Structure 1
Amino acid sequence: MNSPRYVFMKLLPKNLESRLFGNLVNLKVPFLSKLARNLFAKAYSLNMEEASAPLSSYANIGELFIRTLKDGARPIADAEVVSPVDGRESQTGILEGKNAEMIQAKGKQYSLAELLRDPELAERFDGGRFATIYLAPFNYHRIHSPVAGKLVSASYCPGTLWPVNPWSAERVEGLFCINERITTRIAVDGGGELLLVKVGATNVGRIVVNYAPNWITNVGKLPRKAPRVDYVPESEYRFERGSELGRFEMGSTVILVADKILAERQPNLFKSTLGQAVKMGQSLI
């Protein structure tokens, strides 16, 4: 039997609620916005020592949430693959077969083809490896490139905005396949490819990517009727390890998918960090 919390979240118009919440946390109301900002920072014990500006400089929660960091706050490891975000690596595994399944939580799985809404692309990653990193509200929420390489393409999949916390991962079937998401496909300099899937979540729900400035989710700028919208760069677009790629405007999840070439070249990929908190720039090898 579903819990009252599950039923409430299922009935809630999550995209609309998230859009309204986003407008609320970005208001600049004298005293109230700053009070809310201070309460948010205290409630989540934000480490403002590493932020590039003091707490008082942020006009509201929205600005605070997408804060940048001081130079050197996140050293980039000398490894081929580094963490693109601050968070906790909750799952990892091998992709086996045409309909490779990925672990969402204990007893719940989903397929890469469903996640990408692109079975042909999913087949290219047979024999590869994946990792899921969950970002909590207190984490730094800018997204950086995990590898050095070139942008091949990107895709936007419209969807709903369930929370992506452990509670939802354990209860919502195909959570990452029904939530709104943007996938970035990167050709790695040393050979092989890597996918960086950014999954939206309840409250604000916005995902921003630097390589396509008009791609901002949950603000009405992207078509929602097509199952998938593709993006191919008109000219070469490069990423360096640790270069900023985009951001979440409120907490969410990233899923990294390495193809067989990259996974075989780095046999320890994603293994040593499973279950651990990771920092952006930390080695995932």
Structure 2
Amino acid sequence: MIKVYNRITHEYEEENIAGKKFIKWTYETPIGKSITELITKRKIFSKIYGKFCDTKFSAKKIPDFVKDFNIDMSIAEKDISEFNSFNDFFVRNLTSTSRPIDQNKDIFISPGDGRITIYDNIDLNNIVQIKGLTYSLKELIKNDVIAEKYRNGICIILRLCPTDYHRFHFVDSGIPCETHKIKGNYYSVNPIALNSIPKLFCENKREWCLFKSENFGEILTIEVGATCVGSIIQTYTPNKRVIKGEEKGYFKFGGSTTILFLEKDKVQIDSDVLEQSKQGYECKVLFGEKIGTKISK
């Protein structure tokens, strides 16, 4: 059972996991683990399934998926009958009023919908993946010089489930640099998998870039792929100024993760998120939601 903290009700909710039985089997049983290493984590597995999700035949899955996971389609730009494929539905755009963005330059927002964990004063060599398992930023981005910029800074992990809105956005106005791609595997990013695979984020396919924000310093943004994620699509233009809340990109089908690293003394993260993170609980958040405040000097 995975419990997530609801910041509005101040209660813990059980997460309704898409494909829960399959994930538990593949990461918690001897046979399943073998299948994962031989097939499931491979690019070809995710690529084939991703291709299927691009076909019109996959659109038949949409109504049941929406019903089973109680997805609010009233905030989607398209009607459920207008999607051409499951991936078309999966990367759906939301209405402009569904995710209000606080344009106050001192407010730090969530880059997307999902479940968030945040750690401050991080040890670059022992960043928490899940309780008992850590990784290093140098391993994650394979760049020692840039990693050093975030010593004692903040690590923000936003986990997206297959049921979530799967576009990610810029948390501030500023200038994003070019994307660096690192090849890797396609393990699930569900906590069940995170608890089973050491340094999972460093094992999976990922992409990163530096974002020169106007109010929160230089932010390192990382997108991590996962099982059945056909692609990580970057829709921004490098070295061109963006506005707070503007889209950066999206994930095709599958659970995925966005990770942000902030420099020391740039942002004060909201206390409830930090407290829940220390206790090992993720907080449910929406794109545009306040999760911190600029530290004024």
TM-score by length of 2: 0.80
Per-residue CA deviations over 1:91-146 (Å, capped at 9, x if unaligned) read: 423223xx432100111000011111111110111121101111111110011111
What is residue 117 of structure 1 aligned with on the other side? 142
What is residue 180 of structure 2 aligned with on the other side? 155
Identity of aligned residues (%): 29
What is the deviation of 1:149? 1.3
Distance 2:30 2:191 in 1: 15
Return the match for 1:194 from 210, 213, 219. 219
What is residue 86 of structure 1 aligned with on the other side? 113
After TM superposition, list the pairs within 5 Å mapping 1:33-48 onto structure 2: 33-48=58-73
Letter in 1 for 2:258: V
Distance 1:15 1:145 in 2: 28
Contact 2:176 2:240 in 1 (8 A): yes
After TM superposition, list the pairs within 5 Å mapping 1:43-192 onto structure 2: 43-77=68-102, 78=104, 79-96=106-123, 99-190=124-215, 192=217
Find the residue that maps to 2:220 and give its secondary structure: strand
Contact 1:95 1:126 in 2 (8 A): yes
Pair 199,270 (structure 1): closer, same or farther in 2 beyond 3 Å: farther
Pair 60,191 (structure 1): closer, same or farther in 2 beyond 3 Å: closer
Contact 1:82 1:241 in 2 (8 A): no
Residue 16 (structure 1) aligned with residue 20 (structure 2): no
What is the deviation of 1:150? 0.9
Contact 2:158 2:258 in 1 (8 A): yes
What is the deviation of 1:272? 3.2
Aligned-residue Cα RMSD (Å) equals 1.8
Distance 1:148 1:81 in 2: 11
What is the deviation of 1:63? 0.5
Contact 1:86 1:280 in 2 (8 A): yes
Pair 181,171 (structure 1): closer, same or farther in 2 beyond 3 Å: same
What is the deviation of 1:186? 0.6
Residue 265 (structure 1) aligned with residue 290 (structure 2): no
Distance 1:95 1:189 in 2: 23
Distance 2:157 2:34 in 1: 26
What is the deviation of 1:210? 1.2
What is residue 242 of structure 1 aligned with on the other side? 245
What is the deviation of 1:39? 1.9
Residue 253 (structure 1) aligned with residue 257 (structure 2): yes
Pair 141,6 (structure 1): closer, same or farther in 2 beyond 3 Å: same
What is the deviation of 1:54? 0.9
Distance 2:183 2:193 in 1: 19
Find the residue that maps to 1:113 and give its secondary structure: helix
What is residue 277 of structure 1 aligned with on the other side? 284
Find the residue that maps to 1:115 and give its secondary structure: helix
Find the residue that maps to 1:19 and give its secondary structure: helix
What is residue 54 of structure 2 aligned with on the other side? 26
Distance 1:76 1:138 in 2: 22
What is the deviation of 1:7? 2.2
Structure 1 stretches (4+) deviating beyond 3 angstroms?
Answer: none
Pair 190,66 (structure 1): closer, same or farther in 2 beyond 3 Å: same
Letter in 2 for 1:85: G
Distance 1:271 1:119 in 2: 30
Per-residue CA deviations over 1:232-275 (Å, capped at 9, x if unaligned) read: x4xx3112211011001122011110012xxx1323x2643342
Contact 1:92 1:270 in 2 (8 A): no
Pair 117,271 (structure 1): closer, same or farther in 2 beyond 3 Å: farther
Contact 1:131 1:270 in 2 (8 A): no
What is the deviation of 1:284? 1.5
Distance 2:81 2:260 in 1: 35
Q: Structure 1 stretches of 5 or more lacking a match?
A: 213-232
Distance 1:178 1:197 in 2: 14
Find the residue that maps to 2:291 and give its secondary structure: coil
